[in-house]
């Protein structure tokens, strides 16, 4: 009987630590007697047949590299039954028996659909800087990005100290406020504005009405990115509603995704990558490997992709308390 062959891809937005996960899956699989087929450009690459056999040497020296050596791409075709059927043809042609998918919510959603359509053994590894996957305490890339934001805000504060201004610093996150609230605490920001705060409280008004301490000559507010309510939105509001304040905006953008992964992300990626291979050996299907209270766990795809509010009101309250 032939050795089992594991397919491996990264999809969606890149995250620091993806390469460490690729390395862990590859070497754990080979150590267990499996073959590894690497798929370039995510699900689009699977549809196109961009597949290469990986050896231990293929992943040598990549643990410290940011991004993903397998590249990544969004793939609208994979959202369709026709697109997934093409991917399945390539999957079988390459002799693959199982698929490990590294990425965020969209990646896991795609893996669930692929597994349901063709009964494939699919295992997901959560890798997204937003930290917005259900069933795991942390996702690969989150810690590195958090440290990048903290370092940027520290630099902004150095120059802000010379001016009596409100600085709005926009960070990634979209529908998740983990990066905003955690980086606000780590950098000593005066406030964090996050999308999950679903009360009717006007977060900007609440911050302004609280008052800026007279002993401070600057103020930094971390804002989660949003097409409707990002940093530029709040800066314009201040100019109109509170013209007595001078305002500046810093949008950190894609620099948050780059850089060598932190030790924490390298370790997390290594643990989850190895655990994904264990899941395949145990015959697990349609699950994501996650980490809860320091222990690796299996999380059904259906649970992992559930939309959830991962902000923490305790963290937001702490930001307010420590800015007094």
Q: Which residues are catalytic?
A: 130
- Residue indicated by tokens 């937001």: 316
- Tell me how far the alpha carbon of residue 208 is from its chain's centroid: 31
What is the rounded CA–CA span in Å between residue 160 and residue 167?
Answer: 8
Q: What are the C-alpha distances in Å from 64 to residues 54, 61, 142, 269, 272?
A: 19, 7, 15, 12, 17
Q: What are the C-alpha distances in Å from 70 to residues 4, 100, 101?
A: 21, 13, 12
DSSP letter string, 5-21 = EEEEEE-SS--TTHHHH
- Residue indicated by tokens 């293929």: 58
Q: Is 250 helix (H, G, I), strand (E, B) or coil?
A: strand
What is the rounded CA–CA span in Å between residue 80 and residue 281?
Answer: 30
- Residue indicated by tokens 């990986």: 54
Beta bridge partners of residue 78, listed in sequence order: none
């Amino acid at each position: 009987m032939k050795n089992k062959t594991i397919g491996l891809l990264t999809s969606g937005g890149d995250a620091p630590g993806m390469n460490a996960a690729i390395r862990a899956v590859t070497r754990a699989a080979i150590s267990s007697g499996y073959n590894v087929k690497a798929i370039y450009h995510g699900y689009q690459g699977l549809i196109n047949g961009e597949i290469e056999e990986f050896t231990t040497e293929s992943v040598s020296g990549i643990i410290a590299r940011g991004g993903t050596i397998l590249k990544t791409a969004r793939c609208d075709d994979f959202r369709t039954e026709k697109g997934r059927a093409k991917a399945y043809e390539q999957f079988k042609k390459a002799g693959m028996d199982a698929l490990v998918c590294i990425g965020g919510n969209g990646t896991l959603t795609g893996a669930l659909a692929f597994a349901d359509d063709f009964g494939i053994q699919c295992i997901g590894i959560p890798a997204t800087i937003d930290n917005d996957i259900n069933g795991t305490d942390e996702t690969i890339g989150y810690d590195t990005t958090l440290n990048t934001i903290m370092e940027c805000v520290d630099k902004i504060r150095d120059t802000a100290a010379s001016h009596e201004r409100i600085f709005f610093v926009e960070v990634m996150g979209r529908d998740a406020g983990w990066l905003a609230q955690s980086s606000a605490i780590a950098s000593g920001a005066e406030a964090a504005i996050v999308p999950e705060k679903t009360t009717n409280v006007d977060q900007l008004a609440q911050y302004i009405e609280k008052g800026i301490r007279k002993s401070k000559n600057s103020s930094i507010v971390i804002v989660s990115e949003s097409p409707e309510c990002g940093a530029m939105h709040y800066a314009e509001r201040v100019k109109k509603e509170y013209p007595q304040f001078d305002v500046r905006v810093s949008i950190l953008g894609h620099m948050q995704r780059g850089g060598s992964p932190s030790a924490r992300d390298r370790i997390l990626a290594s643990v989850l990558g190895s655990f994904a291979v264990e899941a395949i050996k145990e015959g697990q299907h349609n699950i994501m490997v996650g980490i809860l209270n320091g222990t690796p766990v299996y999380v059904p795809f259906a649970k992992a992709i559930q939309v959830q509010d991962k902000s923490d009101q305790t963290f937001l309250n702490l930001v307010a308390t420590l800015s007094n």
